[in-house]
Structure 1
Amino acid sequence: MDLTPLDIRYQEFPTGLRGYQKEVVKAYLAQVAEAMEALIRENEALRERLKALEEENARLKEAEGELKRAVVAAERIARELKAQAEREAELIRKEALAAKEEVLREAALELRRIREDVERARREKALFLSQFRALLQGYLDSLGRLEEK
């Protein structure tokens, strides 16, 4: 039988010749004591549960703080990596432009050398042809003089 505050408040004990019957009062007090012990045990269990939940809450708050710090650190690292990648990309672009300029410069020099070689070959050809014509003309002239004799 569970006791309520009203049960305790309005409990009446039968009286005997010399007052209340001691056995009934003692039995009722024992019942009240058992109920109180149960309440105390339940109260202590609830306090322990509350303490455990508060510790868990503190642990979770600490983990949340660590997680927030980790997220902030990850965002910072991501920004740094992005900035570094952008710097590296710019450096690669500049190196590629410089390499392109070098290739173009070398190609222009090679073109100039080839054009000079072609021009020199044309001059040599023209010289050769003029010398060959002169040789042929000299040969023809000498043949013509031999025929006249």
Structure 2
Amino acid sequence: MKWTPVDIRQMAFPVGFRGYAPSEVDSFLENLANEIEEILKENAALRERIEDQGQAIAELKKTEGALTNTLLMAQKAIEEMKRNAQKEGDLIIRQAELRAEEITRSAVKEATHLQGEVLNLRRQRDFFVEKIRSLMQNLEKTLQWEDEKADQREEEASL
């Protein structure tokens, strides 16, 4: 039987000739002592359990702190890596832009040079075409002159 404070307060002992019956009082006190002893043991066990759980909580908080610290360090490392990657990307882009500008300048220079060469070759072609025409005209005149001379010789020979 579990005793409550109300049970203890309401406990009535039969009064004997000389007062309360000592055996019942002794029995009650023994039961009460056993209950209190059991309560104290249970209380001690609960305190020990609370202490163990407190230690477990402290360990968990310590672990949580370490994890939080690790997470913060990882976030900082990620941010640093992002910044470095951005810088490296910007540098690569800038180098590519400079290289593209250099290639463009070189291509424009080469195109200008080639246009000059083409123009020069066209002039040379025009010059040689004109020279060949002139030579052909001279050759034609020479051939006509030779024909005329040959005709004259034939006329003189036939006379």
1:109-128 superposed matches below 5 A: 109-128=109-128
1:79-94 superposed matches below 5 A: 79-94=79-94
Per-residue CA distance 1:3-34 (angstroms, 9 max, x = gap): 344626976464456x7544333322211221
> Highest Rg: 1 or 2?
2
- Are residues 1:68 and 2:68 paired? yes
For residue 55 of structure 1, what is the amino acid of its counterpart?
Q
Q: Secondary structure at the match of 1:103?
A: helix
Distance 2:33 2:110 in 1: 112
- When normalised by structure 2's length, the TM-score is 0.77
- When normalised by structure 1's length, the TM-score is 0.82
- 8 Å contact kept, 1:13–1:20: yes
Distance 2:147 2:100 in 1: 68
Instruction: Name the residue aligned to 2:99.
Output: 99
| Structure 1 runs not aligned, ≥5 long | none
**What is the percentage of aligned positions where both structures have the same residue?**
30
Q: Secondary structure at the match of 1:2?
A: coil
- 8 Å contact kept, 2:14–2:20: yes
Distance 2:124 2:30 in 1: 136
Distance 1:11 1:42 in 2: 28
Distance 2:75 2:58 in 1: 25
TM superposition shift of 1:45: 1.3
Point out the more displaced range, 24-33 or 1-10. Answer: 1-10
Distance 1:83 1:74 in 2: 14
TM superposition shift of 1:56: 2.0
Per-residue CA distance 1:96-116 (angstroms, 9 max, x = gap): 202211221231133123212
TM superposition shift of 1:47: 0.6
- 8 Å contact kept, 2:14–2:21: yes
Instruction: Name the residue aligned to 2:47.
Output: 47
For residue 102 of structure 1, what is the amino acid of its counterpart?
E
Aligned residues: 148
| Structure 2 runs not aligned, ≥5 long | 150-159
Moved over 2 A (4+): 1-6, 8-17, 19-26
Distance 2:123 2:3 in 1: 130
Q: Secondary structure at the match of 2:3?
A: coil
Per-residue CA distance 1:35-63 (angstroms, 9 max, x = gap): 12111111111111211221122122112
Distance 2:129 2:137 in 1: 12
